[in-house]
Structure 1
Amino acid sequence: MADHINLIKLSVGSESVADIAHWQKHRSKQLKGGQYYHLTRMWPKREADLLNGGSIYWVVSGVLQCRQRVLRLDEIIGKDGIRRCGLILDPEIVLTEHQLKRPFQGWRYLKPEDASRDLPAHRASDEAIPPKLSAALAEIGVR
């Protein structure tokens, strides 16, 4: 049994993994110490498990396509005085095998055994498959 847990999150507004990378690179308001953080209202109760090698898996256009390792969790107090969680992410975006995912709100825990496998290094530079084709392939079990 794995000793870590992952998160899964919809990347709302993104149409590709390149969109995620562009968003994070140009989102200067969400940089802390030069690293991008994803802001969330809820603090993961399984923080220790998440920080023991966990990643956030991104769902783009209904298909799980990539992940980023979660490096740490930082407390961020908004202008409204509310405490939020800043998920400090590794800048490296790792492409994964595609997996169809239904829409959901917020983030969810993702067990390692349910997570998509990383693409082999020789496939990491493959041209991105259009989202509709990727979804169709994932639906029939072709990753």
Structure 2
Amino acid sequence: MTKTVHLLKLSVGTEDVAGLSAWQNTKRAQTDDGLPRHITRMWPKRADEILNGGSIFWVIKGVILCRQPILRLDEYIGADGIRRCAICCKPGLIRVEATPKRAFQGWRYLPVDDAPDDLPDGRQAEEALPPELSKALAAIGVR
């Protein structure tokens, strides 16, 4: 039986969840069929586990704030002829309990047991706190 694993990725240059959402709504950030995607140099070695219900968890300003279910991994050949991986996700961001995370490069695997929980349905539509405040609250155990 195939396990499930998630990916953890920094959303570089993003100020908040709304900013990530706005970027994903641009044509440049979408596949030909309109799905949001993230293009990365490395192809995940654990692709089967990722495609078994995995999500990409987004770190914004040092805090894991949201996730997206991963639908597929597409081959993407850049203008430079280099093969890359396009991580194609379900549209829309699911907010999660704010969880501090130090900076890192690239993406990392995130075991299911270590992934932050989704915010309850009633809190998904709340206006998000600024990432710095979310980080400070999470550091003292307030989620």
**Superposed CA RMSD:** 1.1
For residues 63-118 of structure 1, the C-alpha deviation after alignment (integer angstroms, 9 at most, x for no partner) is: 00000011000001111111000001110210000000000000000001100000
1:3 Cα deviation after fit: 2.1
The reply on whether 1:30 has 2:29 as its aligned counterpart is yes
The reply on whether 1:98 has 2:98 as its aligned counterpart is yes
1:132 Cα deviation after fit: 1.8
2 CA distance for matches of 1:137 and 1:9? 21
Give SS of 1:73's match: strand
For residues 40-80 of structure 1, the C-alpha deviation after alignment (integer angstroms, 9 at most, x for no partner) is: 00000000000000000000111000000110000011111
The reply on whether 1:110 has 2:110 as its aligned counterpart is yes
State whether residues 68 and 89 of structure 2, in contact with CA within 8 Å, keep that contact through their aligned partners in structure 1.
yes
1:10 Cα deviation after fit: 0.5
1:142 Cα deviation after fit: 1.3
Aligned residue runs from structure 1 range 9-20, under 5 A:
9-20=9-20
1:31 Cα deviation after fit: 2.1
1:127 Cα deviation after fit: 1.6
1:30 Cα deviation after fit: 3.2
Aligned residue runs from structure 1 range 79-90, under 5 A:
79-90=79-90
In the alignment, what sits opposite 1:8? 8
Give SS of 2:36's match: strand
TM-score computed with the length of structure 1 as normaliser: 0.95
In the alignment, what sits opposite 2:49? 49
1:15 Cα deviation after fit: 0.9
Give SS of 2:43's match: coil
Runs of 4+ aligned residues of structure 1 deviating over 2 Å after TM superposition are none
Kindly tell me the number of residue pairs found equivalent between the two proteins.
Answer: 141
TM-score computed with the length of structure 2 as normaliser: 0.95
Give SS of 2:132's match: helix
In the alignment, what sits opposite 1:40? 40
Q: Give % identity.
A: 54
Match of 1:39, as an amino acid? I
5+ residue gaps, structure 1: none
Give SS of 2:98's match: strand
Give SS of 1:35's match: coil
